[in-house]
Structure 1
Amino acid sequence: MTQAPIFQPMGPEHLDGALQLSRAAGWPHRREDWELVLGISQGVVALKQALVMATALVTPFGNVGMVNMIIVDQRMRGCGFGRQIIGQAMALIRPREWRLVATPSGLPLYEKLGFAACGPVQQHQGTAPDLPAPLGIRWATDADIAAIAQMDADALGADRRSLLDALAQPGRIALKPGKGYAAIRAFGLGEVIGPVIADDLATAQELIAFLFGGRAGSFIRIDTTEDCGLGPWLAQIGLRVVDRPVAMQTGTPAKPGTHTRFALAAQALG
Structure 2
Amino acid sequence: MSDTLTLAPFSPGHLPGALALSQAERWPHRAEDWAQFLSLSQGVVALVDGQVAGTALLTRFGHVGLVNMIIVGAPLRGRGLGRRLVEAAMATADLPEYRLTATEAGLPLYRKMGFVPTAEVVQHQGHVAPLPMPPHTEWASAADSAALVAMDRIATGMDRAPLIAALLAQGRIAVLRDGDRQGWAGIRAFGRGLVAGPVIASDADTARALLTRVMADHPGAFLRVDTQTDSGLSPWLEGVHLTRAGGGIAMSTAPKTHAAPIRSFALAAQAFG
Establish whether TM, by shorter chain, passes 0.5: yes
Which residue is 2:39 aligned to? 39
Q: Distance in 2 between matches of 1:27 and 1:252?
A: 28
Q: Please, which runs of 5 or more residues in structure 1 have no aligned partner?
A: none
Which one-letter code corresponds to 2:243 in the other structure? Answer: R
> Is the contact made by 2:171 and 2:188 (CA closer than 8 Å) also made in structure 1?
no
1:141-197 deviation digits (Å, cap 9, x = unpaired) = 000011000110010011011111111137611111461110001111010000010
* 1:176 maps onto 2:179 in alignment: no
Q: How does 1:115-154 map to 2 (within 5 A)?
A: 115-154=115-154
Q: Please, which runs of 5 or more residues in structure 2 have no aligned partner?
A: none
Which one-letter code corresponds to 2:55 in the other structure? Answer: T
Offset at residue 257 of structure 1 (A): 2.2
Which one-letter code corresponds to 2:226 in the other structure? Answer: D
Which residue is 2:240 aligned to? 237
* 1:200 maps onto 2:231 in alignment: no
Q: Distance in 2 between matches of 1:64 and 1:256?
A: 19
Offset at residue 216 of structure 1 (A): 0.9
TM-score by length of 2: 0.95
Offset at residue 256 of structure 1 (A): 4.4
Offset at residue 254 of structure 1 (A): 6.5
Q: Distance in 1 between matches of 2:140 and 2:157?
A: 22
> Is the contact made by 2:41 and 2:57 (CA closer than 8 Å) also made in structure 1?
yes
Offset at residue 243 of structure 1 (A): 0.3
Q: Distance in 1 between matches of 2:125 and 2:61?
A: 27
Which residue is 1:102 aligned to? 102
Which one-letter code corresponds to 1:45 in the other structure? Answer: V
Q: 2:229 aligns with which of 226, 231, 251?
A: 226
Detail structure 1 runs of 4+ shifted over 6 Å in the superposition: none
Which residue is 1:73 aligned to? 73
Q: Distance in 1 between matches of 2:86 and 2:49?
A: 21
1:81-110 deviation digits (Å, cap 9, x = unpaired) = 111111111111122111110011111111
Which one-letter code corresponds to 2:93 in the other structure? Answer: I
Q: Tell me how many residue pairs correspond in the alignment.
A: 270
Which residue is 1:84 aligned to? 84
CA gap 1:252/1:3 in 2 versus in 1, 3 angstroms: same
Name the Cα RMSD after superposition: 1.5
SS of the residue aligned with 2:260? coil
SS of the residue aligned with 1:244? strand
Q: Distance in 2 between matches of 1:155 and 1:222?
A: 18
> Is the contact made by 1:173 and 1:181 (CA closer than 8 Å) also made in structure 2?
yes
> Is the contact made by 1:157 and 1:254 (CA closer than 8 Å) also made in structure 2?
no
Which residue is 2:268 aligned to? 265
Q: Distance in 2 between matches of 1:155 and 1:50?
A: 42
Q: Distance in 2 between matches of 1:231 and 1:128?
A: 14
What is the percent sequence identity of the aligned residues?
Answer: 48
Which residue is 1:55 aligned to? 55
Q: Distance in 2 between matches of 1:191 and 1:185?
A: 6
Q: Distance in 2 between matches of 1:152 and 1:140?
A: 14
Q: Distance in 2 between matches of 1:24 and 1:170?
A: 27
